Structure 1
């Protein structure tokens, strides 16, 4: 008679099965030259999530402060798409990510997330120009939504509020109209 598994044994077995399943998925992403996701999307497909992460990182790249990926911006946006965005707005953003990836494949022969930063920037500038033209006609555009939610997500994250901005949980005296050169960069307070 085979011994019964305890919970720990069952979890170890399930972990092994998960590793066996994940290996071909990770290998396929790496073979396509795309980065491997370190998180599981709730509202996006893995390809959309990789495109989102790459676009967010180009909107707010890592410099002397953490970039959008390090701040968890793609995960934040995915959670918002899953539970907060209006369905039409969520679909517009998802469709925009699909379109951005399709344009990258058509123009550069590779997925957006696998392109070099300069090529990603060029495609995002094109999307921004389209968005600006749409805004002049008072029409919504997916890229303007993406840029806005990326900025909000970044500057409300801990790295964005404490490393990109100066965080002061208890601000001192109000000093209006202070030249930016005197304070260095913007402040975040609660």
Structure 2
């Protein structure tokens, strides 16, 4: 009788473990392949759009002899920054800008941004950047400016936060600059080589 109760208890614990494990794994199993890889509260970004953001970030900071944006997952940094730190209007412009960038790539190169070659991506982003700078200099409103502004807003947010993420990354702080947690110290002792005489009056 005691033996049966022990077996039942073990079976119960085993089954309970399976239930708990299944509950933990279920959300990731149910997650569609076309949803973002990180949890977002305000932005609605699909998996394919996340891939586009990764390619945009990589075009801004490509891999050379140093890590690129993809190596440092900077597109995820950008997504979290926009989701947590930007207002509703900017978040909406960012979301719209993703689609507008793809539409611009289709219009210019007859294919989505992610299918464009490296040189095509660079040319497209440089063109948008140039137009963005010109739009800042020329404040005159033009036809279709509302949709263009979403594209410009998207690019400005994307570029600024990609650079911010890179310069604040562990790689940059430890390999590219000398990082000290403590602020620069005060040193009151220094040698004077040239003595000057100050005369009163």
TM-score range, shorter chain: 0.5 to 0.7
Matching residue of 2:113: 112
- What's the counterpart of residue 156 of structure 2? 144
1:158 maps to what in 2? Answer: 170
Q: Distance in 2 between matches of 1:153 and 1:130?
A: 24
Is the alpha carbon distance of 1:69 and 1:136 closer, same or farther for their aligned partners in structure 2, counting shifts above 3 Å?
Answer: same
Structure 1 ranges of 4+ moved more than 6 A: 171-174
Provide the alpha-carbon RMSD of the alignment: 3.1
C-alpha displacement of 1:75? 0.9
Residue 6 (str. 1) matches residue 4 (str. 2): no
- TM-score, L = length of structure 1: 0.68
Q: 1:16 to 1:83 in 2, by over 3 A?
A: closer
Residues 10 and 54 of structure 1: is their aligned pair in 2 closer, same or farther, counting only changes over 3 Å? same
Check the 8 A contact 2:61/2:69 in 1, yes or no: yes
Judge conservation of contact 1:76–1:153 (CA < 8 Å) in 2.
yes
TM-score by length of 2: 0.65
Deviation at 1:155, TM superposition (A): 0.6
What is the match of residue 103 of structure 2? 102
Runs of 5+ in structure 1 lacking a partner? 30-35, 175-190
Residue of structure 2 in register with 1:186 after alignment? none
Equivalent pairs, count:
159
Q: Mark the structure with the bigger radius of gyration.
A: 2
